[in-house]
Structure 1
């Protein structure tokens, strides 16, 4: 083949590629309409309907702006000569919409006018920024306040938190086999958490595969290692001389600082009363999981991301839960969404 023929073939190939690229661009022209017709435009309209805004993003307009202000420095990108960068406002709105609904990226792209490939990078990155911004660690004075509230509200003294694990359904990575397959019959990762009496997370750990028991999961956490080493910034004893404790179910190992129920075959009247009191204290973590899943739809279905990105998503849900419980608990968990026990009759009122 002569050099002239090679040049002619190369020119034809280049023209085909250019036509295809132009065709693809014209076919996705609707993506270029993002500044005028994305979900951020919808948010501006929803400001006139606070209930709808709250339902769409799980927070009101003022709280949304507060969150946007604090995380913007972590997610802002620079414009280029070829295109304008996706703004922090668009990134946060897309992320909160995903967390609230659990829609696939292919579905979300039509609401956000951001390609599914870009959403695959934007949403985990924004979730990571949310967690880095909102995550907190209790100090010694807060531990004591938590203990006092457990005694006041649940009549279980010296408790610092209720511990339990929750299975989060995932799509297993390629070639993972049965590594993430649990005894319940699906692939999952475990969210291990400690909750206080106000249905807030004190500590969360995520990422252990679902084949491991709750006791095996907690043994891998930094919390449990610090607990065994006495490095949790706690006072060793209360004024009455009793140690602070955490409470859990039968799956956990018994320790002086970690209580679980007596076995059912060993019960007497006193142990039965103890089990009842411990169960009342322990249920706060189960209720906290219930609130979390009810408010963040992404946790209701299988998450089809890599384990590292799923970690970002789940941890962001947990810190957002705390943030909204503190900032706007009446809207986040309105009256009727929580069980309230009458302190005199001990009857649950819903």
Structure 2
């Protein structure tokens, strides 16, 4: 794919440690999530049934699909993508077997060194925010499960959801601007992957080159304690998420980290 080959190294390159630091600062200033370096989610891209594929691409919506797993920064620019997983996998499964997870697990993503949360003294890791389909890790925060949970946990979930909606809006912009993704791609999975990659890199290229690509009212925004839906939601139906919940088998240290972030956010309400 010529478009990807020419532009990906410039517009979808893995951020450097300095760039991760900039992203972290923007998540703090724009979305009030300190040490956050990205929002992560996975979406189905519908395709026609591949020959001799059995149920590998068959998803819970009753369609055939490949999965787009992506991380974005605080301004709806995609920073890491993994495309092509079978539609039958859950978000957690897609993540577990992705190159992105492998890079983080083996410290190849270049995330900044741990640093204290604002006003704190103990070092805290930089992390992504995801929904309940993702595992709890020291570098990946997910919400507390259940209903009727304590006030501090409820507040943590609210703040995490606010930051996590950035990736939801990034996907909304992508689908609204690149209309081929609204359709079922009538092609082999490998060719569908190339189409998705082209849309991703062109999204980043135009967004970083054109100030008018995303109007302020096109994305969700917050006024006082209310969420104002972005106009993209009136134009397109959101891409289907992979909504099956992942097993939350984090280590005790991961639970402690989430609790520490929860306490910090609750003590520094916005």
TM-score strictly above 0.5: yes
**Does the Cα contact within 8 Å between 1:199 and 1:284 map onto a contact in 2?**
yes
The question of 1:290 aligning with 2:172 is answered yes
Deviations 1:128-166 (A, max 9, x none): 555466432200001011111111111111101011000
The structural deviation recorded for 1:273 is 0.6
Q: Structure 1 residues 125, 172: CA separation in 2 closer, same or farther (over 3 Å shift)?
A: farther
The question of 1:176 aligning with 2:57 is answered no
**Does the Cα contact within 8 Å between 1:181 and 1:210 map onto a contact in 2?**
yes
Aligned to 2:215: 334
The question of 1:218 aligning with 2:91 is answered no
Which structure shows the bigger proportion of residues in helix conformation? 1
Equivalent residues in 2 for 1:176-325, closer than 5 Å: 176-239=53-116, 240=121, 241-265=123-147, 267-325=149-207
The structural deviation recorded for 1:176 is 1.7
Distance 1:134 1:143 in 2: 15
Task: Look up the SS of the partner of 1:189 in the other structure.
Answer: strand
Aligned to 2:23: 146
The structural deviation recorded for 1:186 is 0.3
**5+ residue gaps, structure 1:** 1-123
**Does the Cα contact within 8 Å between 1:205 and 1:221 map onto a contact in 2?**
yes
In the comparison of the two structures, how many residue pairs are matched?
224
When the two structures are superposed, what TM-score results if normalisation uses the length of structure 1?
0.61
When the two structures are superposed, what TM-score results if normalisation uses the length of structure 2?
0.78
Q: Structure 1 residues 278, 187: CA separation in 2 closer, same or farther (over 3 Å shift)?
A: same
Task: Look up the SS of the partner of 1:264 in the other structure.
Answer: coil
**Does the Cα contact within 8 Å between 1:130 and 1:316 map onto a contact in 2?**
no
The structural deviation recorded for 1:231 is 2.0
Cα RMSD, aligned residues only: 1.8
Distance 1:212 1:171 in 2: 17
**Does the Cα contact within 8 Å between 1:128 and 1:313 map onto a contact in 2?**
no
Runs of 4+ off more than 3 Å: 124-135, 346-350
Distance 1:169 1:177 in 2: 16
Which structure shows the bigger proportion of residues in strand conformation? 2
Q: Higher relative contact order by CA 8 Å / sep ≥ 6: 1 or 2?
A: 2
Distance 1:153 1:266 in 2: 29
Flag the structure with larger Rg: 1
**Does the Cα contact within 8 Å between 1:143 and 1:160 map onto a contact in 2?**
yes
**Does the Cα contact within 8 Å between 1:261 and 1:278 map onto a contact in 2?**
yes
**Does the Cα contact within 8 Å between 2:131 and 2:143 map onto a contact in 1?**
yes
Distance 1:131 1:227 in 2: 20
Deviations 1:40-92 (A, max 9, x none): xxxxxxxxxxxxxxxxxxxxxxxxxxxxxxxxxxxxxxxxxxxxxxxxxxxxx
